[in-house]
Amino acid sequence: MKLLLRFFLFRFSLLSLLALLALATCPARAADSAAPAAPADPLATLRAGHPRLVFTPQEWAAFDQRVKNRKQDPQFDALLSQLENNARKLLDRPPLGYKKIGYRLLAVSREAFRRITTLAVVYRATHDEAFARRAEKEMLNFAAFSDWNPPHFLDVAEMTAALAFGYDWLHDSLAPESRAAIRKAIVEKGFGEGLDPKLPRNNWQRLENNWNQVCWGGLTLGALAIAEDEPQLARDTLTRARAGIVNGLKPYAPDGVYPEGPGYWSYGTTYQVLVIAALESALGDDWGLPRSPGFMESAKVMFQLTAPSGYTFNFSDCAPRRLFEPALYWFAKKLNTPALATPPISDAETTRFLPLVALWWPDKGLPATKTAPPDMPLAWKGEGINPVAVFRSSWTDPNAMWLAVKAGAANANHGHMDAGSFVFEADGVRWAIDLGSQDYESLESKGLKIWGRQQTSDRWRVFRLNNFSHNTLTIGDQLHRVDGRAEFENFWLTSLDNPLFSTGVTVNLLPVFAGQATKVKRDFVFRSSPSNSFTIEDRIKGVAPGTEIRWAMATKAQVQFYDDKYVANSDGKDIHGKSALLTQDGKQLRVRVKVGSGDFINAPPIGLTVYKDVSPISVNDENQGFEAIPADPPKNDYDALNPDTRILIVRVKVPASGNVRIIVLLQAEEHEVKITSDDGHIRTIRQMQGMDKFNP
């Protein structure tokens, strides 16, 4: 066992130390991020002729070559077949009408993007006129819309991008009058009343979120596509875009954690990549945008945020399923890291950016095996608007233990009241879940104004968005403070030689409980002992006696409670209490809770200090307890259903001291494993599933 442990420690520590060194070098990189000076004429270096958007004529020539030799690369051949199939299906589909959902035309704009780019790429691959004519018909249909819905400007931006690509990629095969009609539509419906920042519809220009990226992205693509015919509009757009687009890049700083969650990383970053690639291909100048702090690093962060199951840490407005991200193919090339380009997944047909993959395809094909990018640490933390820490026991084992936790503030764009919340996997099961976002229209149609970010905003009446649904603490049945920002205080990793190895992070949650407590710290600790478990320890002080503190964890597992004798106190006596046994997919997880009062050591629980508490409080009496409450039916008629979901809750009534300590041990099932020790003896040990890769 010791040998096994030492090996594990070595692997864990070495990789993690490398990561810490990498983190330490980040600020130096930030210093050289100043954008180069803008030339007097933003169009001075405009590439003449078409195509010039995102891909250069050389890249199209390489694409032609790849198409010619498609049978030599079965994965590229499969991608192209998929695109051809998608394009064929479009040939006899009815044209789209001007149909809004609520106040958004966005679904139509996105389908326009998918249709036009798919048809254009397949035409370039097959030279079959039917695809070019259908793309032309699609563009003329959208060009004839009365408008592209400027009050919700994302819709305009994505439609402008769609027509810009079709216009540029198919330029020479479009009829001159079609080109004129498309240009006119881009000018009148894309730019409309212009870019005056005082116009309400243009409020995205300075926003530091995905709107800035998508809207500047769409308009920049539009301006570059028609620049020779509309030079003044193009110059004006490029000048303003250069000044405004830096705002959308600020949230990546310093470490690449996108504060709006993995889903919006995908949206904002894809448009950011399109702009950068289009500036490079059309002007030969990326404006220094890729050097914005954290931007290039954000591609690897997506792998940190992806659990062994393949699902993501879905904080903020985000679903857990990881999207297929064509933009990663661009990052793979730029960073010379082929492993960033993961194969297209089954839902790729509906991914409107799929045609881009055919052009960004790696010269040497996809990597033979699906591996994580190299040099990825097992314990990692990223700072920023929404700091995140992630711990895992392996990068390759689907049964590995994985925990991700976030700090930050609820008033970030698309934010939830989820400071201190975590998602946990072990044995291939996601035991602790985040319920994710709720469909916006389902709330807006019932009159909720979900985009306010004040303490009293409707947004916080929604169960999935407030602290009551998240795996965090609630004090006195109150909402978190919307403007309180939780921060990481410690992120530690004990040395290789420490027999009480641990790694973890402390979150200072006091800002979200301002006025309710004098101290709220939450420690996440991964220890080698007992039995490679994860501990979540809350240290709370200065709460009014009698107040209820609620500890919560949402789960899809079946929950049974049982009487347990689970930890030895510092005086050597066992504690008796109630534990929960979670069962899902034939696997089990024990959730063991200990609640204490009185004073306690004011230090992060490095090593095994965790059980040296005094004055345990029973969680079994009538006022306090450990229970599992079904998430359905929801409290309000506007809340989404959460089928087959329970919230595991520990309730603690604050004692006279005002201090409470809650220790929860998440302990995955142990399995008997045979190992061969140095002296040749085969023996059986019990260890967690997924730890066998650490066998020497």
Residues near Zn ion (CB under 5 A) are 416, 418, 434
CB of 442 to Zn ion, least distance (A): 16
> CB count, 10 Å around CB of 153?
23
Q: Cβ closer to Zn ion: 397 or 434?
A: 434
Q: Cβ closer to Zn ion: 432 or 593?
A: 432
CA end-to-end span of the chain: 10
Residues 6+ positions from 451 with CB-CB distance below 8 Å: 459
CB of 422 to Zn ion, least distance (A): 11
Q: Cβ closer to Zn ion: 418 or 523?
A: 418
Contact between residue 577 and residue 555 where contact means Cβ atoms under 8 Å apart:
no
CB of 434 to Zn ion, least distance (A): 4
CB of 315 to Zn ion, least distance (A): 6
Q: Cβ closer to Zn ion: 397 or 418?
A: 418
CB of 402 to Zn ion, least distance (A): 17
CB of 662 to Zn ion, least distance (A): 21
> How buried is 367 (Cβ within 10 angstroms: 0-12 exposed, 13-18 middle, 19+ buried)?
middle
Annotate 483-530 with DSSP letters as a single string: T--BEEEEEEE--TT-TT-EEEEEEE-GGGGTTT-SEEEEEEEEESTT
Kindly tell me the sign of the dihedral angle through the C-alpha atoms of 163, 168, 173, 177: positive
CB of 319 to Zn ion, least distance (A): 10
Annotate 222-283 with DSSP letters as a single string: HHHHTTTTSHHHHHHHHHHHHHHHHHHHGGGTTT---TT-HHHHHHHHHHHHHHHHHHHHHH
Q: What is the DSSP letter of 645?
A: -
Q: Cβ closer to Zn ion: 416 or 539?
A: 416
CB of 636 to Zn ion, least distance (A): 17
Q: Cβ closer to Zn ion: 217 or 261?
A: 261
CB of 110 to Zn ion, least distance (A): 24
Residue 538 in 3-state DSSP? strand
- Nearest C-alpha neighbor of 459 from the set 629, 638, 263, 642: 638
Annotate 121-144 with DSSP letters as a single string: HHHHHH--HHHHHHHHHHHHHHHT
Contact between residue 153 and residue 193 where contact means Cβ atoms under 8 Å apart:
no
CB of 506 to Zn ion, least distance (A): 21
Kindly state the tokens that stand for 680.
Answer: 């040749």
CB of 415 to Zn ion, least distance (A): 9
Q: Cβ closer to Zn ion: 124 or 416?
A: 416
Shortest-Cβ-distance residue relative to Zn ion: 416
CB of 418 to Zn ion, least distance (A): 5
Question: CA 406, 412, 416, 420: dihedral to nearest 10 degrees?
Answer: 20
> How buried is 629 (Cβ within 10 angstroms: 0-12 exposed, 13-18 middle, 19+ buried)?
exposed
CA atoms within 13 A on the CB side of 267: 19
CB of 460 to Zn ion, least distance (A): 12
- Nearest C-alpha neighbor of 360 from the set 324, 328, 337, 322: 328
- The residue whose two tokens read 């297209």 is 344
Contact between residue 386 and residue 407 where contact means Cβ atoms under 8 Å apart:
yes
Q: Cβ closer to Zn ion: 427 or 434?
A: 434
Dist. CA 512–CA 474, nearest whole Å: 10
Kindly state the tokens that stand for 695.
Answer: 């066998």
Give how far Cα 538 sits from Cα of 485, 524, 607, 664, Å.
Answer: 17, 9, 16, 9
Q: Cβ closer to Zn ion: 313 or 491?
A: 313
